A = this chain, B = another copy of it.
Amino acid sequence: MTIECPTPRHEDEVVLLGHGAGGRLTAELLDRLILPSLNGEPGPLEDAALLPGYRELVISTDSFVVSPLFFPGGDIGSLAVHGTVNDLAMRGAWPIALSVSLIVEEGLALAELRAVMESLGKAAQEAGVPVVTGDTKVVGRGAADRLFVNTTGVGQRHGSLHPSAALARPGDAVLLSGPIGLHGTTVLSTREGLGFEGDIASDSRPLHRLVRALTPYGPDVHVLRDPTRGGLAAALNEIARDSAVTVEIEESAVPVPEAVAAACDLLGLDPLIVANEGCLVAFVTADAADDVLAAMRSLPEGAQAVRIGEVAAREPRGRVVLRTLVGARRIVEMPLGEQLPRIC
């Protein structure tokens, strides 16, 4: 169900929408072009990076280009806060400061800009993180689509949590904190006027308190990741690859809201590769799984947490396998591009 784009190999080729979709094309662009230019090593890429010289601090950046700017359950302002807060949280960190940088298209109504900024301010306040610095650029009409927002965050790690995409181990339970597919289908439906947006809303929300609730189980929490661009399929494939393990999930256990399933059926989308902005996957030791699930369920944002699978020792490593409703097993591939551009 992925878009069939040619893999870029030659210098006469160009950037495709799929290069920004968080799937295989994004990984190739990073490994072949961006990281070599920066003298970076191809390898596990985490949601946030350690700050040199300050082992307890992490930093994460995200530019938000979602279209439309406003959608049920959120807008580009709140999304920009939640997205970066969550990237920090996935490294076991509590957000301590955000920067906000705007690129505005000439002609945007000040009322719209105000609405976005008020939503951003409210989201930051609710998350308890101050916006400490910012920047505003304006480009001429047609040089940008209304408004883009970059947020960069610094977070302080909980001493007991050291999750990494490379730390999944055979036997780990795979937990999911809530239903999938809401954000991507909501944004798409709103943008295209498909009509589902009356029944669903984005799950955009901050997850740092949910992560804090896991601190008592520190060493048992191996991996945390929020399945944003590329959806659950991309997140699990990255973990399987970076940890060199096989991840097995049970189709019947993955919560897909009815309206999401209906929208995906109609549109030919696979809910596994639709973006989320308010849930996380946690890989934890089997022994701690029940306690961690209970801790997650004690908070509203984790009320619907479930166990969806486990890590197998099976070969070949680096795979994600779905046990289907009829008992078959199918490989869940890393999405190539993504079905839904500009969902975050």
A residues adjacent to B (C-beta < 8 A): 8, 11-21, 26, 29-30, 33-34, 37-40, 48-54, 57, 59-65, 67, 96-97, 99-111, 113-114, 117-118, 120-121, 124-125, 130-140, 142-145, 148, 150, 152, 154, 156, 341-342
Q: What are 17 inter-chain pairs, A to B, with CB distance below 8 A? A: A11-B110, A14-B107, A15-B110, A17-B140, A20-B104, A20-B138, A51-B96, A54-B54, A54-B57, A60-B99, A62-B101, A63-B137, A65-B143, A103-B103, A140-B342, A142-B142, A150-B152
- A69 vs chain B, min Cβ distance (A): 13
Q: Are A15 and B104 in contact (CB under 8 A)?
A: yes
Say yes or no: B152 contacts A110, CB within 8 Å. Answer: no
Docked-complex contact A117 and B16, CB < 8 angstroms: no
Cβ–Cβ contact A109 & B20, under 8 A: no
Do the beta carbons of A117 and B342 come within 8 Å of each other? no
* 10 closest Cβ pairs, A-B complex: A20-B138, A37-B117, A152-B152, A61-B99, A49-B133, A143-B145, A49-B132, A150-B150, A37-B121, A11-B111
Contacts of A30 on B, CB cut-off 8 Å? 136
Question: CA A39 – CA B50 in complex, angstroms?
Answer: 29
Q: Contacts A48-B133, A135-B62, A145-B139 known; A17 to B154 CB distance under 8 Å? A: no
Q: How far is the CB of A331 from chain B (nearest CB, A)?
A: 26
Q: What residue in chain B is nearest A103 (Cβ atoms)?
A: B63
Contact partner of A131 (CB less than 8 A), chosen from B40, B139, B142, B148, is: B40
Q: Given A132-B52, A138-B20, A110 and B33 touching (CB < 8 A)?
A: yes
Known: A33-B117, A60-B133, A103-B148. A14 touches B108 (CB 8 A): yes
Q: Is the CB of A61 within 8 A of B150?
A: yes
Q: Which of B39, B124, B130, B132 contacts A125 (CB 8 A)?
A: B39
Q: Does B124 lie within 8 Å of A12, measured CB to CB?
A: no
Q: Which of B15, B49, B144 contacts A113 (CB 8 A)?
A: B15
Residues B38 and A133 in contact, CB atoms below 8 Å apart: no
Cross-chain contact B37 with A120 (CB below 8 angstroms): yes
| Residues on B with beta carbons closer than 8 Å to the beta carbon of A48 | 133
Query: How close is A228's CB to chain B, nearest CB, in angstroms?
Result: 11
- Which of B29, B52, B110, B138 sits near A136, CB closer than 8 Å? B29
Within the complex, what minimum Cβ distance (angstroms) separates A152 from chain B?
4
Which of A21, A54, A117, A135 gathers most chain B CB within 10 Å? A135
Given A20-B104, A20-B136, A154-B51, A97:B11 Cβ within 8 A:
no
Q: How far is the CA of A154 from the CA of B97 in the complex (A)?
A: 11
A33 touches B154 (CB 8 A): no
Chain B residues, Cβ within 8 Å of A29 = 136
User: CA A25 – CA B135 in complex, angstroms?
Assistant: 14
What is the distance, in angstroms, from A88's C-beta to the closest C-beta of chain B? 11
